[in-house]
Amino acid sequence: MPTINEKITEEIRAKAKKLLESKEIAAFLGFCQGSLPMTTRPFVARSPEEADKLIWNSFCVLNPTNYLPELLKSLEPPRGPRNPAPEGPLPKAAVLATGCWSRNIAIQIKENQLDRDRVIIVGIASRGMVDQRKIRARFPNQEIMNVAEQDHKLLVSGQNFKKEINRWDMVRGNCLTCLHPDPVMLDVRIGAAGQERKNDTPFQQVDEIENKSTDERWQWFQDEFASCIRCYACRNACPLCYCDTCFVDDSKPQWVGKSIDPVDTRLFHILRAYHCAGRCTDCGACESVCPMDINMRILTKKLSKDVLALYGSEAGLDPEAPLPLSTYKTDDPQDFILSESGAAKEGV
């Protein structure tokens, strides 16, 4: 009996082949197998033959939307910066999209980073991606050589051990609290539709930190980011971070020191999170790619909580809705504006 993921893999390959053969698309953006257990690689299939390399499993932790604008650009015929775009439709690409990834596509379209007409969204209801760090933590000092997947179990094996563990116990934190596993927009569906999930405490991790005293919170923040090496993997894996020049890379003026001085590191993480406010879909790519295991996602999750409370909005959930922080409404909450007496102003 093939597993759910194996069936999805087969469907993805068949669909990709068909789209590539018919020349409806020039590229299919998904994942291929990595060279280590529990890894996948973002992968672009450009021919029907390459479509056979596409896979789907519980370790597709990168967000393919991150590659989409650049991929589409690379498909355009080469031209000078001043030359006009060629006549006729530009080549299209297909991309895999789960709930959060599809919301990122919606946001990129809203932010004029993506041309909807050039994207074929291949929707998959996410069953939650697995955190390889959780698995490694379960087997300390043992070298994991293989992880075989069943629908609800993971079979972890190494040189002298073999153990079956519950898949859901190993799922990433962001996926555990995800309420919208099904794509919010799609052109083609692979696999069964997903169910909206219920969760009474979707912001539990944030709540725990909010409930700490100021000093404890500060300590938590310092400790959590102490090991950051400023590699920017979190930023570069994020489909929201597409500025030509990031504020940390600016030299005229230079906003942030470039070394690993704790002040600079903290500033980077705070500002990065704020740039994602109202836009972050909690896809978890930042956390998954961090080589130092920093849980920077808690910062963006906190901002998601605030944006939901203030504006009743979840990023990209309604592809038609304007983004809360780039839209002005007269009844927007504005208690951050202080009056002369120092107290927050009441209403308008």
Question: Can you give the binding site for other proteins, defined by CB under 8 A?
Answer: 34-37, 39-44, 62, 66-67, 141, 143-145, 223-224, 226-233, 235-237, 249, 251-252, 254, 257-261, 288-289, 291-294
Task: Choose between 58 and 313: whose C-beta lies nearer to other proteins.
Answer: 58
Burial of 119 (0-12, 13-18, 19+ CB in 10 A): buried
Our CA angle for 192, 155, 289, nearest 5°, is 75
CB of 93 to other proteins, least distance (A): 13
Cα 86 from Cα 266, distance rounded (Å): 45
Task: Choose between 186 and 256: whose C-beta lies nearer to other proteins.
Answer: 256
Burial of 21 (0-12, 13-18, 19+ CB in 10 A): exposed
Torsion sign across C-alpha atoms 157, 128, 65, 284: negative
Task: Choose between 107 and 144: whose C-beta lies nearer to other proteins.
Answer: 144
CB of 305 to other proteins, least distance (A): 24
Task: Choose between 91 and 257: whose C-beta lies nearer to other proteins.
Answer: 257
CB of 259 to other proteins, least distance (A): 4
167 alpha carbon, distance to own chain's centre = 20
Task: Choose between 23 and 252: whose C-beta lies nearer to other proteins.
Answer: 252
> Residue 154's beta-bridge partner residues?
149, 165
Do 158 and 145 form a contact (C-beta atoms < 8 A)?
yes
Task: Choose between 241 and 317: whose C-beta lies nearer to other proteins.
Answer: 241
Cα–Cα distances (Å) from 111 to 106, 123, 241, 289, 323, in that order, read 9, 21, 12, 25, 9
Q: Concatenate the DSSP letters of all residues of 133-163 into one string.
A: HHHHHHSTT--EEEEEE-SSEEEEEETTEEE
CB of 249 to other proteins, least distance (A): 5
Which residues lie below 8 Å from residue 274, measured CB to CB, with a gap of 6+? 303
Cα–Cα distances (Å) from 5 to 12, 56, 151, 188, 191, in that order, read 10, 6, 8, 17, 9
Our CA angle for 163, 168, 172, nearest 5°, is 110
CB of 344 to other proteins, least distance (A): 34
CB of 291 to other proteins, least distance (A): 4
Task: Choose between 93 and 323: whose C-beta lies nearer to other proteins.
Answer: 93
CB of 338 to other proteins, least distance (A): 29
Task: Choose between 182 and 282: whose C-beta lies nearer to other proteins.
Answer: 282
Cα 268 from Cα 156, distance rounded (Å): 37
Q: List phi, psi (to 5°) of 122.
A: -100, 100
CB of 269 to other proteins, least distance (A): 15
